Every structure is written in C-alpha cells, then in structure tokens.
Amino acid sequence: MSNDQKNCPLTSVEAIDTIEEIAGVFPAYRRAHAKGIGFDAIFSPNGSAASYTTASHLLQETSAIVRFSHSTPNPDPTEQLVPVKGMSVQFQLPNGKVTNLTMATVPVFITKTPEEFIQLLQAVKGDKLSFTEKISTLKNNPNFHAAAKILKNSIPSKSFLTERYYSIHAYYLINKNKQRQAVKFEWEPTDSGEETSRFTVSKIGNPMEDELVNRLENGPIHFNLIIQLAQPGDSINDSTQEWPDNREKVCIGTLSIHERRLDNAEPHVFDPTIVTDGLQCSDDPVLHFRRAAYAESAKRRHQFVKLLEN
C-alpha cells in the first residue's frame, strides 16, 4: 500500500468506481477529461526561473506533449455545457524521464480532500435535481462552498486558445542553495479572441478542437508560463483557496505548440505529482491522491485497449 493510500481512507479503486457509477463507464477513455486532442510542442525558458529552481525543463529548451480536454468523463459531451477545460503538458526530460503540469481553467479545486470530492459527486448525482437545486445543495454544505462558487461563476468556454489555465495546486521550486519558494503555475494565452475567431470551423461537432487544428495552419500557438509567488501566510496545502491578486507573478518562458500528434496523446498519463529535481509537490492531500487515481484510471483504459487489440 502506498503512502498516499495510508494517509487517505478513500482508495483509488473506490474513487474511480464512484466516478463510473455516477458518470457511466466509457472503458477506453480516461475517467475524467475523456475527450481531448494532443499536440507536440517546445518549451523555451527565458532565464527568469534560474534564481528559483534547478529544474532542467525550466532552464533549457525542452520538447513537450500537450493535451487540451473537456473535464467530463463522457467522451462525447456537448462542449458548450462543460465549462471547465484542461491543458496538460508533459515535458520530455533526458533519459526517458518526464514531468507534468496538469492545469484547468479554474484557479481552485472544488473540495479540500478526496473524500469530500466523492461526497460531492454523490450529493449532486443523477437528473432529479435541477441546476439551481444542485447549487443550493452545495451552498448548504460548508465543505462544498468552493464547488458552489465555481459552478455559479463558470462561463462556458468557446475556445481553448484564449483561456487561462491554472495548476490549482501549489508546488515548491528549489534552487541551487536548497531554498524553497512556493508557487502556483499558470498558462497565459498569447492569442486574442479577435485573432482566433476566424479559425472556428462550426458550432457543431468538435468546434474547439477544429479551431486549434486550423489555427496551426497560421503558425505555432503560444502560451506563456507564469509562476505566482506565495508569501508567508498563504495557504499552500488547501487547493480550494486562492492566493491574493497582489502576489508577484513572473513569466518564465513560452510554450510553442506546432503539430498535432497522431496518437492524440492518448497513451500518456499526465500525473501532476511526477516532478523532477528542483521541483517538489506541496502536501495538498488532493494533489497526492491524484497519483493513485490517475494510475487506476490508466490501468482500466489500457487494459481495455489491450483486450481489443487481442
């Protein structure tokens, strides 16, 4: 049994079973963010991270795999009804190693613990409750206030290109003097809505994915990587808490997306706890539980794919 499972009464099997019970079973797909599209990219640091970390991918040009996705477990969602989008980036390190930044279009997670997340899913499952009733259910439970706020303020996205993506969880950057700085990561788009609107193909089918593919015909897609620096007193281990807006932000490099992947990034697991030298996970319980949950999800879908191949 892993340390993550010892520290958390909820097991990854129970969590994935619950998601399947509530959302349905789609064997060949991820148990969240099922529908997505993958690309090859290059990350080019600008040198601004050098005083904070020794992580090689933040200091020298590194190839990367990028996956944009919709948050639902359903691989065929109505895109306009899925407000939260994802952008996962896997940096390809020397010797076959990787590290991941798994981000979403909301700055916080919906619960403090994995157990509360499953309780939330169970509280609002099914079609018996209207959207207003579900919001009321969440507002009446203090453990679900972050979720209620996210749902209330969420505006369905029209484009992967113009969204800002957040790491949700805090990490520590570690420099050559072993000094630690708590940070949160953000991907900041460089394309404006005016520049990308003409590339939208249609309002049916896969308009957001089509826009990305058609936009690439005009050259690489760029996102800047931003770190937000924590100050004493900021909550490091509670992913439902935002840091104040006046916290310093530093741009440390640019991601250039240049080609769609033939495998659509489907074989890859974007586990946000896989870090490298110069980077350390915080003690956020949701962050650490994601390792086991991602592994269980990957195990189930890869087993199904192998079964089909045989």
- How do the domains of the chain map onto residue ranges? 3-309
**Which residues are paired to 281 by β-bridges?**
171
Distance CA 234, CA 145 (A): 19
Burial annotation 177-208 (CB, 10 A radius, 16+ → b, else e)? eeeeebbbbbbbbebeeeebeebbeeeeeeeb
Amino acid, res. 271: D
Q: Is pLDDT at 261 greater than 90 in this prediction?
A: yes
Q: What is the per-residue pLDDT for 125?
A: 66
Q: What pTM value is reported for the model?
A: 0.87
- Report the top-level CATH class of 3-309: mainly beta
Query: Percent of the chain at pLDDT above 90?
Result: 56
Does residue 12 contact residue 61 with C-beta atoms inside 8 Å? no
Q: Is pLDDT at 91 greater than 70 in this prediction?
A: yes
Please state the rounded mean pLDDT for residues 234-249.
96
Does residue 110 contact residue 152 with C-beta atoms inside 8 Å? no
Q: What is the per-residue pLDDT for 163?
A: 94
What is the overall mean pLDDT for the chain?
Answer: 86
pLDDT tens by residue, 6-18: 444 788 888 888 8
Neighbours of 58 (CB within 10 A): 26
pLDDT tens by residue, 126-138: 666 666 766 676 6
Neighbours of 133 (CB within 10 A): 11
Does residue 293 contact residue 72 with C-beta atoms inside 8 Å? no
- Going from the C-alpha of 153 to that of each of 27, 157, 163, 218, the distances in angstroms are 32, 12, 15, 33
Distance CA 235, CA 239 (A): 8
